[in-house]
Chains A and B, each alone.
Chain A
């Protein structure tokens, strides 16, 4: 395994630990008693692991910060420091800086000076708290390279041992040497005494008196085998002991020892047979299967013109196998939403604190799975919704109390799976969207008739989803201005999903994002305008009908399609794509598209058929009015644009 792979392992695992630290910090802030103790233990373990890994990787700033943080946590475990507001803030900030230092170390960029400042601050905290681990000044003999330990009094063979310079945990090594001596006979005395040896309070040499019937050679060999022994000297030597020179110094490594970590209650860890796969491999597999799906399309159209039944049969079989393979690969890309949701409790807590609001945040459906890239894409919109809810939705405790609501607001983030979609819901019990204000703004901007007095939920969504439409009175650094629901809306739409908002004054707001399970491969209907092919996701297609003149009506001066008892607005794709070629000969086709409650008849020259297409996202689909949601390559190698149905409704 090369160092890059180690770095990747380090990063993955450290991130998990930082996330665990944040969760435990939130627990610690909320909890008390036993729960608090558990939380400190958990944070300690994670910080300790990060320290060990980063030291191994040679990431000194990370290791140093982790070490000092560990010191503070150790004092908390021993009860010499309490989790007061100052300490909590210190811990939260340290967790952020630790994360920053980890990311920086792996990317090889210099860490922010804040990391060093915090490390020094924690160190000072450790001193202030009377920490015994890293800051006790001890009278230490200076290593003169000579035999400095006084010979212990009493009978027995005098054995002097000098450890190798720089022996790690030399106190423990000395202990091992003494243990080895005990196997040879009786150790009558040790100098310096054993407890001082164990605490590293000695130079590199020590002495003991041994009663043993072994030869000097055997003793020497046995003690040397205890490891890190530079020299063993046997026999009286009155001239060796020199007066010890002393100086005062302090060393972080001079730990007096750390209290044992309380083990968590035993839980059964389910054993999974699994291997870790590089995410890039999964992406490559997905791209390959995408290409394969395209090739299958081409193969199918070739086979359709063939009269060889064996070929047709084989192509059909290959098709099924490709479909199975596609399913398997899609499944392997599914990850539980907690991988992204995990950082939200911390985010909500910080947002609530900065705004002096009290929020009880709940997350449900953490185990619901979504395609990895979809999940990554949807993270930002969710952050946006959560911040909006805390900033604009939930009221201050005073405001809530005066309305007769509990002072603490509720905020729920949930994920549920239904058929081929995942619904992510952000629900608050705050003041609700101010319809009056939205309506006023809409009237002012000429978006609705001046006489309009009420807004349905549907209309509300459409209005606030418009780019730049915002009713925020204040600009806060949480929500900013002009990037409101519209940003979320266009993002989610670009992912092939939909947004739904329900809001009741003073009861709260619920925003639901419905997302397809994957964004890569979509079953689509292909249609033609002139020589160009366009694709529409089948999820939005209800049916197709021939566009016969008999179905046409005119309502309030507008052309509509009368289908059974339904009146559908007509949208001509020709006009939308500004195609000015000759009109089609023969009958046009109408595709009945729908999204939530909205429907329309999309008129096209001709239908080509259904096909699985591989969606290639455009880099930036920021403008909510963009007609296209992406592009694809068809079976015959020709490109086709994908129509975003929500843009025409």
Chain B
């Protein structure tokens, strides 16, 4: 059975791109969220194997969302999607419970490597 993924990003563009990369690699995209609040709600509802999480989102940022999700499910596997210049934030996200990170612009191979590490 393929792994299920919840994609959280406020940009449709980014959700589409990440979704395409993962789908082509055989993952099943079970949900998308455009705010941190939605991400937490959808996590609870869908219990996906993997979450990709943008850092900068309206309505609760990605870090707080990771914190909430990990509080709900300590085993949650969250992959942070960050941009250059967000060192401190990514560290904070990892301390909040995220397992790994990828840096925009995304290269499919890097995304998939990170995903494997998170799931492995």
Contacts and interface: CB of A to CB of B under 8 A. Distances in A.
A90 B50 CA distance: 42
Contacts of A45: 10, 56-58
Nearest to A1: B20
Contact of A263 (B36, B89, B100): B36
A159 B101 CA distance: 23
B88 A263 contact: no
A269 B114 contact: no
Contact of A266 (B60, B84, B90, B104): B60
Interface stretch (A5-13, A28-36, A410-418): A5-13
A227 B12 contact: no
Report the contact-size class of chain A (Cβ under 8 Å from the partner).
35 or more
B27 to A, nearest CB: 15
Contact of A179 (B60, B89, B94): B94
A48 interface: yes
A168 interface: yes
Contact of B83 (A52, A267, A276): A52
Contact of B13 (A6, A58, A255): A6
> Among A51, A52, A169, A171, which residue has the most Cβ atoms of chain B within 10 A?
A52
A242 interface: no
B14 A169 contact: no
A261 B61 contact: yes
Contacts of B10: 45, 49
B38 A269 contact: yes
A610 interface: no
Contacts of B82: 169
Contacts of A42: 58
Contact of A171 (B20, B57, B87, B102): B87
Interface string A466-482: 00000000000000000
B85 interface: yes
A257 B88 contact: yes
Interface in A251-268: 252-253, 255-258, 260-261, 263-264, 266-267
Given A6-B17, A49-B11, A67-B85, A176 B100 contact: yes
A290 to B, nearest CB: 31
B51 to A, nearest CB: 17
Contact of B105 (A58, A169, A264): A58
B105 A266 contact: no
Contacts of A227: 100, 113-114, 117
A256 B36 contact: no
Contact of B91 (A56, A175, A263): A175
Contacts of B104: 52, 55-56
Interface in A311-353: none
Given A9-B13, A263-B58, A172 B87 contact: yes
A112 interface: no
Contacts of A264: 58-59
Contact of A168 (B60, B61, B84, B120): B84
A48 B56 contact: yes
Given A56-B106, A169-B103, A227-B117, A13 B85 contact: no
Interface in B39-71: 56-61, 63-64
B20 A169 contact: no
Contact of B87 (A13, A225, A256, A266): A256
B28 interface: no
Interface string A277-321: 000000000000000000000000000000000000000000000
A257 B87 contact: yes
Nearest to B88: A257
A273 B23 CA distance: 21
| Ranked 10 nearest A-B pairs via Cβ | A257-B88, A255-B85, A168-B103, A56-B105, A55-B105, A52-B104, A172-B90, A263-B60, A9-B13, A253-B84
18 contacts: A13-B13, A45-B10, A49-B56, A52-B104, A56-B17, A134-B85, A168-B84, A169-B86, A169-B87, A169-B101, A175-B94, A176-B101, A253-B84, A255-B85, A257-B88, A258-B85, A260-B92, A269-B35
Given A55-B104, A172-B94, 7 more contacts: A6-B13, A56-B17, A56-B104, A67-B85, A172-B87, A172-B90, A175-B91
